[in-house]
Amino acid sequence: MVAVALLAVSALGVAWRAEGGRTEAPPVEVAGSPPGATFATGMTRIPVADRVPAPAVSGMTLDGERLALSDLRRHVVVVNVWGSWCVPCQEEAPALARVARDTHDSGVRFVGIDTRDTRAAARSFVRTFVIPYPSLTDPQGKIHLAFRGTIPVSAVPSTVVIDPDGRIAGRVVGQVTYEQLSGLLDEIVAERRPLPATVDRQGPE
């Protein structure tokens, strides 16, 4: 079963790379969703009115510290599901690290979920790609399952963006590019910016 799942992920990863970030692969079924429910690969921004609360995820990081997504409330949060064994994860890692650094001063925070991996391999991955944010360790894939209503459990890598109110605002199923993620974050961060003050140019009557 595991071999079949990894083969499916590998095939999807090839399709994503072949399309240069634009995903033309057919919709995929999501474990735990209603029968017949499918999700298209690629990037999706969710309208404010359609957003649902993100799952209450917590756990231990690769550095042995406890972390909960609720600790980051009032920030835009990017959650990236990855594994050191995943080739598309390796290919997107430099872009994720760059976006994390570029958006930190705008209040964006990143959290990884290292799934179906060993701690040693994951730490080596973090050092190799100079990942600047913490990752929850998820060797059995249980934390990843918390997002099964948003991203397919077989799709690694996948990325979820959570707005400052703790609601799911966007996702990328498959390998993400710098341009995709930074553009999506610009839009979501801008939702909370106050409108510029208007100047009353009308003189006294």
Tell me what pLDDT residue 194 has: 60
What is the model's pTM? 0.77
Tell me what pLDDT residue 89 has: 98
- Give the Cβ contact number of residue 177 at 10 Å: 18
How is the chain split into domains, by residue range?
Answer: 2-190
Q: How far apart are CA 143 and CA 9, in angstroms?
A: 18
Per-residue pLDDT at 199 exceeds 50? no
Q: Which two tokens stand for residue 113?
A: 């979920």
97-131 pLDDT, tens digit per residue, is: 999 999 999 999 999 999 999 999 999 999 999 99
Helix, strand, coil % in the chain, rounded to nearest 5: 35, 25, 40
What region, left, alpha or beta, does residue 96 occupy, with left being phi > 0 and alpha being psi -120 to 50 degrees?
A: alpha
CB 115 within 8 A of CB 82: yes
143-189 pLDDT, tens digit per residue, is: 999 999 899 988 999 999 999 999 999 999 999 999 999 999 999 99
Is domain 2-190 in CATH 3.10.20.30, yes or no? no
5-40 pLDDT, tens digit per residue, is: 343 343 344 233 333 333 334 454 433 333 444 455
What is the C-alpha radius of gyration for the chain, rounded to an integer number of angstroms? 18
